[in-house]
Amino acid sequence: MGPKHTFAVAIKVFGFIKRNLSGAHSERWMLRARKGASAHRNAERDSPPINTAPVVSGGGFLKPPSFAKVIQVPTKSRNAVSATSMHTFTSFDGTRIAYHIEGDGRPVILLHGFGVDALGQFGEFDRLLPALEKRQEMFREAFGGAPPLPDPPAEGRPGLAHALLATGTRALLPDMRGFGASDKPARKECYEGSAQSRDVVALIDHLQLDAVDVIGFSMGCGTAAGLLALHPPQVKSAILAGVGDYVLEDNPMDFPKNWPIPDSVPRPITRSVWAEEGARILEEGEIIPGHLASAGLMAARATGADPKTLAAVIRGAVMPTWPLEALRSIEVPVLILNGRADLANQKIDRLLGLMPTARAASCEGDHNSTPYQPTFHKAVIQFFQEQWRLRP
């Protein structure tokens, strides 16, 4: 789902293979993956051009409301955010942004990651499970194996929004542009210039909030960081969860040499190279067997999202590195929070060094399961409650 999430998914897939396939069996699996990629290149060379017309299915940008319908599960908890709590407003450039709002306490804005909407990230786990199951099946077909589905503890399965509401918080959950029930322009320029962060500023102004705290997960970290760089006075603290130092520079990514990545991918494989590879596959609309960059297209098919829209999001919002000077200028308290099994997000020393007000914490979980871990919820609530005690 952006370059970082695709890398995290890749680590999970091949961590699973390493644990469960060894010796000759593992070698046969890798040979099949490489042969699959080679066969695809040969077929591509001898075949007519691929139809790259937009796939307009549930969640396509021509049908904004339908993504929520794909994985919607009736909510049962008194503290859960319901689908009926959705509202919309017009953002700074005319883009329609949908958001959920629930509760009456101190407001917290929750910014979701790539490939999901707000309730898919922070709502009940069962809401996301059907999409995860579809994606897992596609991984089996493309790679000959797949990581197990996340199985968070029962206490964490209601999601972070539920945990916050149980403490008396007012939860604000926008579907970022390109996702969920918000507008989904399919042009890169619609996501450039911190557009998603500016949407959050517009939401704060729309709701006339005097003080608000923010948490971003995965892609939502970039949205939150961009928001902090804009210095809106209403934002008092932020949590960046599911993020690592690779967001700072376009350095080569640490892929093991035996991973099935075609020779056609430019070397060295930097963050921008890998993001562009994923965006290209989304645009072409064909899963390439044995090619890890197909993960984004798998996610699109699992949720019914429009691949061309996701490609535009990657190029406009996910691919740019974070501005160093803007990070140095952040003055509000920041917590960097990662799951201990989120292998792609363990290096955060440079982020901590750049943000003078930042500190770190950890919780249980890998990149997929962290949002549903009770220790994640506890760390989030403790940080925000600490901030609330320190200000009027």
CA distance 281 to 277: 6
Range of the domain at 148: 3-390
Amino acid identity of 163? A
Evaluate whether 342 touches 245 at the Cβ level (below 8 Å). Answer: no
- pLDDT digits over 216-226, tens only? 999 999 999 99
| Cα 11 from chain centroid (whole Å) | 16
Residue 378 has pLDDT above 90, yes or no: yes
Total structural domains in the chain?
1
pLDDT of residue 76: 41
- pLDDT digits over 330-345, tens only? 999 999 999 999 988 9
Evaluate whether 114 touches 363 at the Cβ level (below 8 Å). Answer: no
The larger pLDDT score, comparing residue 44 to residue 355, is at 355
pTM over 0.85, yes/no: no
Evaluate whether 184 touches 68 at the Cβ level (below 8 Å). Answer: no
Proportion of the chain in helix, strand, coil states, percent, rounded to 5: 45, 15, 40
Residue 248 has pLDDT above 80, yes or no: yes
CA distance 60 to 58: 6
Q: What is the DSSP string of 371-392?
A: GG-HHHHHHHHHHHHHHHHH--
Indicate the SS3 state at residue 128.
Answer: helix
Residue 179 has pLDDT above 90, yes or no: yes
pLDDT of residue 271: 86
CA distance 253 to 234: 36
Residue 249 has pLDDT above 90, yes or no: no
Confidence of residue 62 (pLDDT cuts 50, 70, 90): very low
HEC letters along 308-346: HHHHHHHHHHHCCCCCHHHHHCCCCCEEEEEECCCHHHC
Residue 26 has pLDDT above 70, yes or no: no
CATH number of the domain residue 28 falls in = 3.40.50.1820
